A and B are shown apart, each in its own frame.
Chain A
Amino acid sequence: MKKTLFAALSTCLIAGFGVLPTPVLSANLVGKEVVVGWLEPFTGMGSAYGEEDSVTMNMAVEEINSNGGVGGLPLRIIKYDTSWKGEQAIAMLKKLAQTDKVLAVMGPYSSAESEVTFPVANMLKIPIIGHAGSAPGLGEKNRPWAFRNVMPLTKTIEPAFAKWVQMYKIKTIARIYESTDFLNTSEATGILPPLLKKYGIQEVSTQTFSKRDINFAAQVTAIKAANPDGIWLSAIYEEGANIVREMRRQGMKQPIVAGVGITGPSFIRLGGQAVEGIIEPSNFWAGNPDPKVQEFVKKWSAKYKGQLPPHYTVNLYENVYILKQVIETSGVTNDPNNLDKDREKIRNGLAVLKDFPGVGLKITLGSDGDALKSSYVLQVKNGVWERID
């Protein structure tokens, strides 16, 4: 009786999601609850991300549990703090895998934490799915157990760049990037140069800065002297917003296009008026009329000071649902004696995940473990990100 009720509920839920992605095997889980691990920075430098992602995680778990849980069992998340440190992330992943015996792990946040945890997940043979670490090649290096639901850098940058070049008739650019960060460095020195060649654009100045810099007057003065048509910016939002402010303060009015690091509303909050007109590629667009996006945005803001959700946190939300679906449809038993087999089933389920209906975009996990997701080109208009492609 209970099982039929659950099946009905879960069918409703999946129907509510729109498309039925794969034929649903009837989930046949034993035990009292489904336990999944989560690594996230709650203290230290990254604790802002931890705070925002907690809202998302609580939201997803509440929704799932009030709609019949995972395969009829309540979902329980065991979360551990990484303190933004690799060593701690490794220790906590081991604890999740071996002491807490979770089925799969979500997180960690940064590329650096992912670089150290993904190989360990491979050794421990536990599926892990990240939601933010975007450094190129992370998924590919850590086959077959590590996955990432983030935009692939190589495919996202070009549309935004092309749109920007065409909109502002750019002939010369200056690039400025954070040279102490792998993601930003690979954007500015790996992905950008071929694009410049392809679109026949000349580079007139290159400036760099370091993590947690606050003063960008020197770099901006140099760029101003080179007088480019436009500026390429590869930065995390904190430094990014201050660089743009400094440019506007020094009277530079050139159009700016940015990489994936500045994503989200924090950039606008920090940059204020100065960041109007900035263009970036993103996986999420809060103004998307898609009802699922609107519902997510509404619920999230209600729980977090009325602010709009940051763009990466959506990936975490999707990951919870991805794991739910994979656990329900790939014959996982949830029997502690079958833990190894269950983890393997989840891994196989993730590896073939195709067209999963995410919040706004469809997600397919490619053979390199990274999500094949399309992206939007966004521009800041009147203090919010608007889609322009």
Chain B
Amino acid sequence: MFSEYTESLFIMAGINIILGFSFYFPRSAGMFSMAQGGFMAIGAFISAALTVKLGMPFYPALLIGGIVAGIVGVIAGFPALRIKGVYLLLLTLGISEVIRIFFLNFSYTGGVAGLGGIQLHTNLWNVYFTVAILVYFFHRLAPTRMGRAIAAIGEDEEAAEMMGIDLTVTKLQVFGISAAMSGLAGGFYAHYSLYITSDNFGVAKSLEILLPVLMGGTEVFWGAILGSFVTTFVPEWLRFIQPYRMMIFGFIIVVMMILRPQGLVDRSLVSSIGLRLRSIRLLWFPRPAP
């Protein structure tokens, strides 16, 4: 269908979308998390160690990587319960670094040498199937009790608590699920790049994840999708000005943030498109029974 080059860009964009979702999800509950680069490392190293060292098939390994990342996410979520805003951002940034340093020193997964010899299992189909499942998940989640609780917390935490929403449980659920998403993305990343080191993750990765989401917009999950495509493909289109391409890309980011600080996609844009598409959407995504 595509050349393998284009395909590899789509795969990278797909992995970035999953990572973008994992940032968007806690954000929708009012929590900024920069720990995604760390959770991603957990998914990547665990799934890769399972397939390489224990010969486990890819899909169970991918799932286990995601689940372990989710569990660590819940644990990391506990301190996050008390902390908000920029404090939370910095706390999660620290968690991300500590996880990276753990893998730098953990010799079972290669330590400083990194983990190689991973088989290629990631392809367009399984990445975008996962993206589709997550889109469906967000779609189905919105009208449920948990979805409404998340939205309420995102709007106003104290009001939500007074309405009887259990902040602790909801926040931990959100943190765990989003960490699991990062873990899945990490598993895909490991089985795509075939060799991973702790250098690939940590804060540097978290910032790389943050950028597409902020460019795309954090109000709706579509922002992560559009943002990932933009940040994956624009630097590629700029290749003709080779040495200056990253500079121009930086310039585009700055200008876009000035012109559209909420990101490319926001709620009003989605609803105006959504009105026109509603009839089509009803065919494809029948709303769940209330």
A-to-B contact residues, CB < 8 Å: 42-44, 47, 79-81, 83, 86-87, 90-92, 94-95, 97-99, 112, 115-116, 119-120, 123-124, 135, 141, 179-182, 185-186
Contacts and interface: CB of A to CB of B under 8 A. Distances in A.
Interface residues of B, number: 27
A211 to B, nearest CB: 8
Contacts of B4: 94, 97-98, 124
Nearest to A47: B243
B91 interface: no
Given A44-B246, A98-B4, A119-B117, 18 more contacts: A43-B242, A43-B246, A79-B242, A81-B243, A83-B246, A90-B8, A90-B193, A94-B3, A94-B4, A94-B8, A97-B4, A112-B197, A115-B114, A115-B197, A116-B194, A120-B194, A135-B113, A186-B113
B84 interface: no
Contacts of B113: 135, 182, 185-186
B112 A181 contact: yes
B121 interface: no
A91 B245 contact: no
B3 A116 contact: no
Nearest to B9: A91
A291 to B, nearest CB: 34
A81 B5 contact: no
A180 B200 CA distance: 13
Contact of A123 (B12, B114, B120, B200): B120
B101 to A, nearest CB: 10
Nearest to B243: A42
A81 B242 contact: yes
A81 B116 contact: no
Nearest to B189: A87
A94 to B, nearest CB: 4
B266 interface: no
Identify which of A42, A90, A135, A179 gathers the most chain B CB atoms within 10 Å of its CB: A90
B112 A185 contact: yes
A297 to B, nearest CB: 26
A117 B22 CA distance: 28
Given A86-B195, A90-B8, A94-B4, A81 B245 contact: yes
A182 B5 contact: no
Given A90-B8, A98-B3, A119-B195, A43 B114 contact: no
Interface string B193-224: 11101011000000000000000000000000
Q: Which 3 A-B pairs give the minimum distances between C-beta atoms? A: A95-B5, A115-B195, A94-B4
Nearest to B244: A43
B134 interface: no
Contacts of A99: 3, 5
B200 A115 contact: no
A79 B239 CA distance: 11
A186 B200 CA distance: 20
A83 B232 CA distance: 13
Interface string B1-25: 0011101110010000000000000
Contacts of B12: 87, 91
Nearest to B246: A43
Interface string B233-254: 0001001001101100000000
Contacts of A186: 113
A81 B238 CA distance: 11
Contact of A43 (B120, B200, B243): B243
A141 B193 contact: no
Contacts of B98: none
Nearest to A119: B194
A179 B104 CA distance: 9
A181 B112 CA distance: 6
Contacts of A81: 239, 242-243, 245
B5 A91 contact: yes
B193 A87 contact: yes
Contact of B239 (A80, A86, A90, A115): A80
Contacts of B5: 91-92, 94-95, 98-99
A42 B4 CA distance: 23
24 contacts: A42-B242, A43-B243, A80-B239, A81-B239, A81-B243, A86-B193, A86-B200, A90-B8, A91-B8, A94-B3, A94-B4, A95-B5, A98-B3, A98-B4, A99-B3, A115-B114, A116-B194, A119-B116, A120-B194, A124-B4, A181-B112, A182-B112, A182-B197, A185-B112
